[in-house]
Structure 1
Amino acid sequence: MIQNTDTKPNPNVSSEEIDSLLAEIVSSPELHFKWLNTLSLLEHIGARKIHTSQTGAFLSEMVLRHASEEARHAAYFKKLALKVKPESTENFEKDSLLCGYSAVSYFQKLDISVERSFAAENFPKHTKSFLCYLYVTKLIEERAGLVYENYDQILDQKKLGISVKGIIKEEESHLSEMDERLSELDPKFESRTLEFREKEQKLFQKYFQNIRKEVFQYS
């Protein structure tokens, strides 16, 4: 994952653990469908959050492009899910997701945590909103980069005829833009990044453990 900051996330869930879990998921069409459908939901939530939080006169081309790309990623993951299991639902019912509540909770709690950290900061309201958007996007896409790269390698190994390389490339571009803007706007960029990464790692670890429990039940 290409990043402009000096260090990458130091996740408390190892790459080997992620590989092992993803291999289990991909080996089951039912789990694989749920995994892809959950990724679709998360990308959709990301697009929706951008449209909800970034409005008005300060809306930029970068933000509009990012929102449209997240929506396209949601549609692409949905398409892949239905390729894996064509007879499945096209919706996001609870039973069609892999720990769907936990996935949404991970995203929402991260968003709230970043927003609260700026409550006492002396930035204009629109700048606070923009910084929150930038940081949450950065954190989510750092995590997505790590997970998607592992996932794509497994897809190649299994020769399943699907790939997420295009999404990885776009997420890397988003992350580069986030880092560039954050370094310009936030004097505490480096220290705040480390603080937020710690919070994200704890939230992701909980989500990962919940996925592992559900996958284990299918074994």
Structure 2
Amino acid sequence: MRPQWRATGALRRSAVLGAGGLAWAVVLGEPVVLVLTVPLLLISLPALSRRPSRTPTIETSLLHASLREGEGVSLDLAIHADDDVEQVTRVMTPQRLVVGRPDDGRIVTRWPAARQLQVSPRRWGSIAIGERVALTSAWAGFRWGPVAPAERPLSVLPSAPPYDSRAEQPRPQGLVGAHRSARQGQGSELAGIRSFQPGDRLRRINWRVSARTGTLYTTTTRAEQDAGLLLVVDLLAEH
């Protein structure tokens, strides 16, 4: 069901109090009551005369479909049949690690000054940006909504800051063998003897052990390295 324009609470109160006070002043002959209720009628009549006649439709769009974490993007609002719209209230759907501008993700201003709402995600991944929108007619007489337009998907890529580390970088000296390697590979230092497996080099076959046991055995060695780099990534923690 499409939302319709509805009278605001302020218009209802001013109309009821103004009409009731006017009837009271006429029937009982109380001019003081008339003085108190005339301002309410003066506010209600312009609002009623500007009653909206067209039902608006709203649509949101993102300026960019993808960006890097920490960057910002504008969530644009388009209102069709906005002849009767005077004020717009926009409230961004709260999400974890998504910051809006203003800070509370809320805009209440005259139309069309509220076309753009700034959104800045702080975490990479795929998210959906949504909001709730309410429209108000002239003299705050009628209100439309709030409604939630279709959410807009946004792809957030990890940021790529320049590498910065206080740790000393390894400086290869060109001398291999000062420290024993932790893994096996092509080298000259004996690591062990094991059964021959398909893919092993024939020149690594240990013929003495093979002749004594009657089964092919191969010699394994440790890799020759000058410096190594170990990278540990924790995917379960937020950094």
Q: TM-score, normalised by structure 1?
A: 0.22
Q: TM-score, normalised by structure 2?
A: 0.21
Q: Which has the higher helix share?
A: 1
The structure that has the greater radius of gyration is: 2
Considering Cα pairs closer than 8 Å and 6+ residues apart, tell me whether 1 or 2 has the greater RCO.
Answer: 1
